[in-house]
Amino acid sequence: MTLGSLCQEMFEFFKNRAISPKIKNRFLCFYNTIMKENYINVPSNLHKYVLNHLKDFIVSAETAASEMKEGIDYQIEAVSNLHSRILESRIVIIDSDTGTDLPTTQWTKGLHQFLQLKHGLRLTSISTKAVYISNVSYLKTFEKHGCIFGFSGTLGAEAEKKELVELYNGLKCITIPSAFSKQFFEEPPVLTVNEQNYFMEIFKTLNTLMKNGRSALVIADSIKLVTILNQKIKRIAERELKDHELEPFLKATVYKRDHEKFEFADGTTLLPPKSIIFSTNLAGRGTDIKISKELEENGGLHIIVAFLPPNIRIEEQAFGRAARCGQPGTAQMIIFEKNKKSFAELKAKRNKRENERIQKIKEHYHSKIEPEEICFLNFSETLTNLKRQLQLKQLPQECYELLCKDIIDQYAMELDACMFGGENWVLKMEEFCETLKIKYQTNDSSNVLPLQPSNLLKYAVKMVSIIR
């Protein structure tokens, strides 16, 4: 495969796609130069994989370059390499719905690797999916044995409830009343059309709360926005306030990462009056902030949601940090939207997008996830039988593990290719599992070897070291 043939594919794709002008011009600027370059070596066993995913890679490159933002979608942090024990930087995904770090998760279709290129980090391997079971199917295994009785959590919109009912075979969704009467009041939302007004509205609300001996939790949708809000509002306070009125703003608590200590969520530290907390959704979901008696008497905790949550569930979870256990509390949305729209219109569009997202999830589950799991169950049986045969060879443990990995790699590559092949890919995978049995068929006199070139090389190195 030549560099030119890859670029030609990219060129044709660029011509017919609404790529941002900046990226398109940069690519086309170097296109003629690239076409004159020498061959690049793509291993023959990966030709099909590269061609199948080429358009995905192009889209991922554009997404990484222009859409993904540090401090919003991900963070870069230094960690110790397990092999070299040298500190190196890595991409850590931040779940925008919960604010939690996902250190062991990578984006697919090369997106993670393009972000690594963007920031000059060490490239990790692109992984293919092989050993797979969805959360839905995993939980259903308990249901088969009568060991699952239900779920608890914030249900959200009707579409989400309906999805749970469909996926979990008629699961009933019920609302459990709180143990204490609710003393919660939602303040009218504030919609601003420029950033300065946005910061000023949040500041004025916080200042009023502090004067009344209240405390506030300001929830942002990203680490970046938390940092900006804290800095901007502190500057406004330094300009507008003095002495004891300024103190709550200077001593505001900032909670951005789940490895950071958040003392007011430990169940013992009570939140005093005149406290300000800036946080991501880390503090907006499942966090039980205990308030002092004095703060309760002053009206309790006030929640400011500084963005429009992507769905009703996240909105309710954020508001649920106030007025807990029968205590008083209030909440309000203060958001920034450049386009002059009503709050009702924004929410209606938000709910429509969420319904469409849920519909896509259901369609993807039935068209992709369920067939994949059928394939995996069939492959699991094949893999178990092949492992049993390999154990009879009494190979060194490292060689045995490498052969098992090779079987899984073969399956992953074939599954990936079949999913690009259109219809009947489940049947094709059944046939492939039968061919696997023949390829790796072994007895005491035969010499089984890995089939993937990279695994074959590693296997040879292991065998040479053992012979020596």
Residue ranges per structural domain of the chain? 183-340, 361-467
Mean pLDDT by 10 residues, the chain (468 residues): 54 59 62 57 83 90 90 87 73 89 90 91 82 78 71 78 81 80 93 94 97 97 95 96 94 92 88 96 87 96 96 91 92 91 89 91 88 89 91 87 91 87 82 85 64 86 76
Q: What is the pLDDT of residue 221?
A: 93
Segment holding 352, helix H or strand E? helix 343-364
Pairing of strands 87-94, 74-80: antiparallel
Q: How far apart, in whole angstroms, are the C-alpha atoms of residue 38 and residue 195?
A: 50
Residue 413 neighbours by CB under 8 Å, 6+ apart: 45, 49, 128, 452
The confidence score (pLDDT) of residue 40 equals 62
pLDDT recorded at residue 138: 82
Query: Which CATH superfamily includes the segment(s) 183-340?
Result: P-loop containing nucleotide triphosphate hydrolases (3.40.50.300)
The confidence score (pLDDT) of residue 33 equals 60
This prediction's pTM: 0.82
Q: For residue 436, with 0-12 CB atoms within 10 Å meaning exposed, 13-18 middle and 19 or more buried, which class applies?
A: buried
For residue 194, give the DSSP letter: S
Burial class of 60 by CB neighbour count within 10 A (0 to 12, 13 to 18, 19+): buried
Residue 9 is predicted with a pLDDT of: 57
pLDDT at 454 (0 to 100): 86
What is the spatial distance between Cα 68 and Cα 415, in angstroms, rounded to a whole number? Answer: 29
Taking phi first (over 0 means left), then psi (-120 to 50 degrees means alpha), and beta for anything else, what does residue 308 get? beta
**Residue pair 102/95 in contact by the 8 Å Cβ criterion:** yes
Q: What pairs with residue 88 in β-bridges? A: 79
Sheet with 101-102, edge to edge strand ranges: 74-80, 87-94, 101-102
Phi, psi (degrees; rounded to nearest 5) at 219: -105, 125
Report whether 319 contacts 217 (CB < 8 A): no
Instruction: Identify the pLDDT of residue 445.
Output: 44
